[in-house]
A and B are shown apart, each in its own frame.
Chain A
Amino acid sequence: MNIQTLLKEIGLEDVSDSGTVQVPVSDFALTAEHIVEAGSPLVLMYALDERKKSNIFSIRAVFAVGTELLTLESYLSPEKPQYPSLTRSIMAANWYERQIMDQFGIEAVGHPDPRRLMHHENVPEGTYPMRKDFEWNTKLAHAHVPYPMHQVEGEGVYEIPVGPIHAGIIEPGHFRFNVRGERIITLEGKLFFKHKGVLKLVEGKTPEEALPFVERVSGDMVVGHTLAFVQAVEKVSGVKVPLRAEYLRVIWSELERVCAHIFDIGNMGGMGTGFTFMAAQGFRMVEEMRRLNADLVGHRFLRGAITLGGAHDVTADDEVKILETIKRIEKDIGEVLKIAYAKDGLKERFETTGILGKEAALAYGAQGIGARASGIDMDLRRDMPYGAYADMDVSVMVETVGDVLARFNVRVRELTESFRLIRLAITTLPEGKATLPVPHGTGDAYGFAESWRGAVLDFVRLDAKGRIDRLVIRDPSFCNWPLFGELAPGNIVPDFPLCNKSLNLSYSGTDL
């Protein structure tokens, strides 16, 4: 399906080439519903403050239509910006709409759960930080606005508040369990303790100046985020990066994926179930990979690997180093996995824990590993191939059960594929330059990349001077966090850490 046939199907004709369709506010929700019903999922919602230019706010919903992105847009009045909520019929819109209410004060009328999302108790009413008239250095008064969380009442029901500070070295997040005995009835997260104001801070900066901010959006997903961002900027500027750079970008992306997957395999097996041998071995291998990263690009988490207009280049020596290291790691992780799969106790903990049904995953708009483990066959590297992935025939790893074991298996199988892609990219690495200058451009573009967690989707608007007017970053974690409310109930409290590790979502990438 492409955009034209879809629009014909739902009775909309007037389309510009940009893939953006304007509809009146009154039709916004209904049109979105038709598009989703036609089989094109909602992948992003964001708002723009265009009061200076045309005295409007605009609300946009983005849908994945085949290999293209369709943007549905409505203009809202500047005095009382509101639109009919999509969440009533499209689950995936839930957090986006709540986020837009917090960021812009644009009300989704009829939203079933219009509580605050990003703003905690301390943010005063009427604070809309993403509006253009809000200065980044505004000092806010300390407020006490209620932030109610779901509660269950009944005999034997009690509440377990966990976090935001945890015992391990992990990011802050508060989880509220309502349990009866050990059985979880409801689970709700309160995140957004890591607000850095990245999206506000990059406004008015050139893409070069903004790149370090994007690199730091989520510590372990440097390549995923920078790749989505630079591809958007390059699209605006109309730059075609050299072929060598495209291949290098594959190498860096897959090295990041290998690191993360080995870490998760060790963490799920070792820390989640207490089979500590796996953690000790897994973390040892991750350390080796990180040292390789530091040796190659000068940073353990690959900052600086992706640049505007290109990528960090490798020498023939580097190629040998990469090949030798992944050969060793592949053998070692193979041995660890052989032991792991032979352990009934481990399987017993993984199986039937934290099941996420396919229907729920689709409804919530789940991304990445969480989606593929529940039978959703999606991977941008194959579905909307970017860079050199188009030449590489990426296999997408799909499992059907949707439990912790399925997510473990997806990682294990993707690891094999990543090793293959790294080898392929190195052996077919074209000669030539690794980077090109990117001239300043003006306009809008989307950029996306399949990071190891799932799809990163960025919207970039560069103004007439080539500076960032608006940046939207959608980390896959933002789509996956609400899944906990779906997959945790029915499990027992001591199994929650395992569910959590099996998704391994980013707190920082969600809170920008």
Chain B
Amino acid sequence: MTYLLITFQALVVLLSAPLVVGMVRTLKARFQNRQGPSIFLPYVSMLSLLRKEMTITKHSSWVFRMVPFVVLGSAFFLALVVPSLFFGIVPSSLDNIFLFGAVVALGSVFLVLGGMDTGSTFGNMGSSREMTLATLVEPALYVSLATLALATGAWGMGGIVGHFTSLPWLVAVPPAIVTLIGLLFVLLAENARYPVDNPATHLELTMVHEAMILEYSGTYLAMLEYASAIKLTALLAVCMGILIPFGISAPPVTFFGLGIALIAFFGKLALGAFAIAFIESVIVKMRFYRMQEYMMLAFFIALLGLAVELIVLYH
């Protein structure tokens, strides 16, 4: 039964991932007074990419071919362990926060390798930028996760979210708000969103994530785009799951509970997509040489979050 639930939960995340990207895009268009595409467009574009021929430069090695599998694999892992509908079903050895952070980093590292492998200038440029950003973002990520672990006494994602569901919202969530803001900074940076990167840009010279995957086409490109959609959805699910723990339940699961969980999950994703679209519409992309200020801010917000939790715990 547990395995069935884990599979079901992962499938829901995997199937809804392109929808999140679609929602963000359409909402952004609406913020600009444009009609925007259908929110289901990413499904269509990924499927059509699957049908397209792959062009792979002969200057690439096996690394280039392996990258999409590792990146998509790491995204699958995130989809598997994130407590999006239920908690307490994934063994805590698997949804450990450090493992979680490491798997996120694994995907990034392989993207970087893929960008460098062909020896193209833009790929190398994107890889160099991604490494800079990844190094800067990591402290904020781990301090935030560690704060949550400290606050809840659990080292697994499921346990953390479970703790928030078990307490009244006013008791559990407000002290974690600062940490959640820190996590939001991390989420934007990790998913190549504003103000760190512009996922919609066509200007190669300004790209980070898009520059690394420029050489990919066809199925591999579909895999990489799908992976980044899953990553966005998974991280959004974690943040929203803590902010609004409503609907997430532990087994045994009833049909009614399942329905509530699904509705709550999609509501939270829509809310998260709205938040991202709003942020991307009202702010300007930062100058690349000010990234360290952004990351520094993220780190100090995370530290502040830790301080708040410590005060709440030990005052």
* A residues adjacent to B (C-beta < 8 A): 158-162, 166-168, 182, 271, 273-277, 279-281, 284, 343, 345-346, 348-349, 353, 492-497
Interface centre among A158, A275, A343 (most CB of B within 10 A): A275
B265 interface residue (CB < 8 Å to A): no
Q: Which residues of B contact A492 (CB under 8 A)?
A: 287-289
Q: Which residues of B contact A353 (CB under 8 A)?
A: 287
Q: Give Cα A279–Cα B281 distance, bound, in whole angstroms.
A: 12
Complex contact B281–A277 (CB within 8 A): yes
Contact with A along B274-315 (1 / 0, CB 8 A): 000000110111111110000000000000000000000000
Give min CB distance, A277 to chain B, whole Å: 5
Q: Give Cα A162–Cα B289 distance, bound, in whole angstroms.
A: 21
- Can you list 27 A-B pairs, Cβ within 8 angstroms, ordered by A? A158-B124, A159-B121, A160-B205, A161-B121, A166-B204, A167-B202, A168-B202, A168-B203, A182-B129, A274-B201, A276-B200, A277-B32, A277-B281, A279-B32, A280-B32, A280-B33, A284-B33, A345-B195, A345-B284, A348-B287, A349-B285, A349-B286, A349-B287, A493-B125, A493-B288, A495-B288, A497-B205
Complex contact B198–A274 (CB within 8 A): yes
Q: Give Cα A277–Cα B194 distance, bound, in whole angstroms.
A: 14
Q: Give Cα A280–Cα B36 distance, bound, in whole angstroms.
A: 11
Complex contact A162–B200 (CB within 8 A): no
Q: Give Cα A158–Cα B288 distance, bound, in whole angstroms.
A: 18
B206 interface residue (CB < 8 Å to A): yes
Complex contact B205–A281 (CB within 8 A): no
Q: Which residues of B contact A182 (CB under 8 A)?
A: 129, 288-289
Complex contact A345–B286 (CB within 8 A): yes
B31 interface residue (CB < 8 Å to A): yes
Q: Which residues of A contact B34 (CB under 8 A)?
A: 280
Q: Which residues of B contact A279 (CB under 8 A)?
A: 32
Complex contact A274–B285 (CB within 8 A): yes
Give min CB distance, B19 to chain A, whole Å: 21
Complex contact B205–A493 (CB within 8 A): yes
B28 interface residue (CB < 8 Å to A): yes
Known A277-B31, A277-B32: A167·B287 in contact at CB below 8 Å: no
Complex contact B32–A494 (CB within 8 A): no
Known A160-B121, A271-B203: A349·B33 in contact at CB below 8 Å: no
Q: Give Cα A271–Cα B203 distance, bound, in whole angstroms.
A: 9
Give min CB distance, B115 to chain A, whole Å: 14
Complex contact B125–A345 (CB within 8 A): no
Known A277-B32, A281-B33: A496·B205 in contact at CB below 8 Å: yes
Give min CB distance, A70 to chain B, whole Å: 42
Q: Give Cα A29–Cα B3 distance, bound, in whole angstroms.
A: 87
Q: Give Cα A349–Cα B32 distance, bound, in whole angstroms.
A: 20
Complex contact A276–B288 (CB within 8 A): no
Q: Give Cα A495–Cα B284 distance, bound, in whole angstroms.
A: 13
Give min CB distance, B313 to chain A, whole Å: 37
Complex contact B204–A343 (CB within 8 A): no
Interface centre among A182, A277, A494 (most CB of B within 10 A): A494
A162-B121, A276-B280, A345-B195 are known contacts; what are 6 more A-B pairs with Cβ within 8 Å? A162-B205, A168-B202, A168-B203, A276-B32, A353-B287, A494-B205
Q: Give Cα A200–Cα B281 distance, bound, in whole angstroms.
A: 49
Q: Give Cα A363–Cα B33 distance, bound, in whole angstroms.
A: 45
* B residues adjacent to A (C-beta < 8 A): 28, 31-34, 121-122, 124-125, 129, 194-195, 198, 200-206, 280-281, 283-290
Give min CB distance, A419 to chain B, whole Å: 23
Q: Which residues of B contact A166 (CB under 8 A)?
A: 204
Shortest 4 CB-CB distances between A and B: which pairs?
A: A345-B284, A274-B285, A280-B32, A167-B202
Q: Which residues of A contact B284 (CB under 8 A)?
A: 273-275, 343, 345-346, 348-349
Q: Give Cα A162–Cα B96 distance, bound, in whole angstroms.
A: 44
Q: Give Cα A275–Cα B28 distance, bound, in whole angstroms.
A: 11
Q: Which residues of A contact B283 (CB under 8 A)?
A: 275, 345
Give min CB distance, B69 to chain A, whole Å: 27
Q: Give Cα A389–Cα B203 distance, bound, in whole angstroms.
A: 39
Give min CB distance, A255 to chain B, whole Å: 24
Q: Give Cα A279–Cα B129 distance, bound, in whole angstroms.
A: 26
Known A167-B204, A497-B203: A273·B285 in contact at CB below 8 Å: yes
Q: Give Cα A271–Cα B201 distance, bound, in whole angstroms.
A: 8
Q: Give Cα A280–Cα B200 distance, bound, in whole angstroms.
A: 13
Give min CB distance, A335 to chain B, whole Å: 12
Q: Give Cα A158–Cα B116 distance, bound, in whole angstroms.
A: 14
Give min CB distance, B282 to chain A, whole Å: 8
Q: Which residues of A contact B32 (CB under 8 A)?
A: 276-277, 279-281
Give min CB distance, B120 to chain A, whole Å: 10
Q: Which residues of A contact B198 (CB under 8 A)?
A: 274
Q: Which residues of A contact B31 (CB under 8 A)?
A: 277
Interface centre among B124, B129, B201, B290 (most CB of A within 10 A): B201
Give min CB distance, A269 to chain B, whole Å: 8
Q: Which residues of B contact A159 (CB under 8 A)?
A: 121
Complex contact B28–A276 (CB within 8 A): yes
Q: Give Cα A493–Cα B205 distance, bound, in whole angstroms.
A: 6
Complex contact A494–B121 (CB within 8 A): no
Q: Give Cα A269–Cα B89 distance, bound, in whole angstroms.
A: 48
Give min CB distance, A305 to chain B, whole Å: 30
Give min CB distance, B161 to chain A, whole Å: 33
Complex contact B203–A167 (CB within 8 A): yes
Chain A minimum-CB-distance residue to B204: A167
Q: Which residues of A contact B204 (CB under 8 A)?
A: 162, 166-167
Give min CB distance, B241 to chain A, whole Å: 29
Q: Give Cα A358–Cα B129 distance, bound, in whole angstroms.
A: 34
Complex contact A494–B206 (CB within 8 A): yes
Q: Give Cα A154–Cα B71 distance, bound, in whole angstroms.
A: 35
Give min CB distance, B21 to chain A, whole Å: 16
Give min CB distance, B186 to chain A, whole Å: 20
Q: Which residues of B contact A271 (CB under 8 A)?
A: 201, 203
Give min CB distance, B278 to chain A, whole Å: 12
Q: Which residues of A contact B281 (CB under 8 A)?
A: 276-277
Chain A minimum-CB-distance residue to B29: A280
Q: Which residues of A contact B201 (CB under 8 A)?
A: 271, 274
Q: Which residues of A contact B125 (CB under 8 A)?
A: 160, 493
Q: Give Cα A349–Cα B284 distance, bound, in whole angstroms.
A: 8
Give min CB distance, B230 to chain A, whole Å: 24
Q: Which residues of A contact B121 (CB under 8 A)?
A: 158-162
Chain B minimum-CB-distance residue to A271: B203
Interface centre among B200, B281, B287 (most CB of A within 10 A): B287
Chain A minimum-CB-distance residue to B285: A274
Q: Give Cα A497–Cα B202 distance, bound, in whole angstroms.
A: 11
Q: Give Cα A159–Cα B122 distance, bound, in whole angstroms.
A: 11
Q: Give Cα A182–Cα B121 distance, bound, in whole angstroms.
A: 13
Chain A minimum-CB-distance residue to B194: A274
Q: Which residues of A contact B124 (CB under 8 A)?
A: 158
Give min CB distance, A112 to chain B, whole Å: 29
Chain A minimum-CB-distance residue to B197: A274
Chain A minimum-CB-distance residue to B281: A277
Q: Give Cα A167–Cα B207 distance, bound, in whole angstroms.
A: 12
Give min CB distance, B27 to chain A, whole Å: 12
Q: Give Cα A353–Cα B280 distance, bound, in whole angstroms.
A: 22
Q: Give Cα A161–Cα B285 distance, bound, in whole angstroms.
A: 24
Q: Which residues of A contact B28 (CB under 8 A)?
A: 276
Q: Which residues of B contact A346 (CB under 8 A)?
A: 284
Q: Give Cα A167–Cα B206 distance, bound, in whole angstroms.
A: 12
Q: Which residues of A contact B206 (CB under 8 A)?
A: 274, 494, 497
Chain B minimum-CB-distance residue to A493: B205
Chain B minimum-CB-distance residue to A273: B284
